Structure 1
Amino acid sequence: MSMAVNPKPPEKMMFQLTLRRRGISDQAVLRTMEEVPREVFVEPRDRDDAYRDSALAIPCGQTISQPFVVAYMTERLQLHKDHRVLEIGTGSGYQAAILSRLCKHVLTIERYRTLADSARKRLEGLGYYNVEVLLGDGFDVPAGAGDFDRIIVTAAMEQIPDKLLQRLEPGGILIAPVGPHQGAQTLVRAVRTETGFERKDLVDVRFVPALPGVAREM
């Protein structure tokens, strides 16, 4: 007598298949993308579309990145379990949630109070206690936060500030979308070496702009 097994929802099956077809091969990243419930991080009206490979709108004029971009950026960070990671641009908290399952600690900085508060609540509700959500300016990371093994920027910067690069530990990796605020940017990967920084352009992307300061409203 065979036992009935509930199949995965079709959209979850396509979600994983799409990531693999587009070149994501790191098994830890794929497993984490499978386990973190993306539907919790989108607006209620968009939950039926949570696993489509597209960006979705969230409050304050921001977006949650498409799954492939989240997986791609995460894979290129080459995370280890003992890493401290800085994220600039918390948004809904989805990228931080993915990072948290693959490293020791995540400090994520958000300039909109509404987003910071809701992301903190979501992450705590899921038991992702190794994430610290900070309301602040991603262009002015508090000195007391120390340095980081990895830095990920999830909003477009016209150029990577040198003082952000200087927060990388030796051998550390930074990934950020770099380019004009209006139009496409290039995802850039910078590695801190003994003599400076090795920079490599990866793929074209499109992110909302990274803006200095803490937003006065929202």
Structure 2
Amino acid sequence: MCAHVLVAEDDEMQAELIRRSLLSEGHTATVVHDGRAALQAARDLRPDLLVLDLMLPVIDGFGVCRVLRRDDDVPVLMLTARNTEDDLLLGLELGADDYITKPYSPRELMARIRTVLRRSGRGGDGRQEDTVVRTAGLAVDPVRHEVRCDGVPVECTPAEFEILLAMAAEPERVFTRRQLLQRTRGLDRASTERAVDVHIMNLRRKIEDDPRRPARLLTVFGVGYKLSGGRG
């Protein structure tokens, strides 16, 4: 796997450590130190991954993520010293694919980067499945990492894609939040199942005619969620 990673980190020493770690893994890296520069570099360079510190000057990481998600699906790995649940969930709502809290080890960060790249199908190490999964008016293509809803392309973050792919492959199966969480970030660290609720909410906005009254992505109260195959 070789990917181009954009690193947005205002701590120059920390940014240099990340850059060296990426180079040692065979990646290329571009480093910027404020949010405005991060947005410009993301648009100009089209990186495979953005490693984004939340506490950036000029435009903070939340602002960067909010602007990027209007027209860009680059995977985002957030770096944060703020580990409150509300902050982390806000980052996920804005379209971040994963987060890591400071302090962290370079080894952990590189493992997380590999996971996000693998899930997103970027950096030359994507999925190898060759079957489009079709159900409920949805077509989920694991090779091209594409989703269509009633024939219309749907932009999904890597985490949203993993959830939708898992549920589309087994329509009518009820998944617990923990099972869906395992599909997105795994169980190798403390996490919150509320993150799954955020991803489901975002998916409903994209695939439901009325997200407040979902017909595809259904809640099974007291258990979790299921994808109804009735429309496919």
TM-score, reference length from structure 2: 0.29
The two structures have a TM-score, normalised by structure 1, of: 0.30
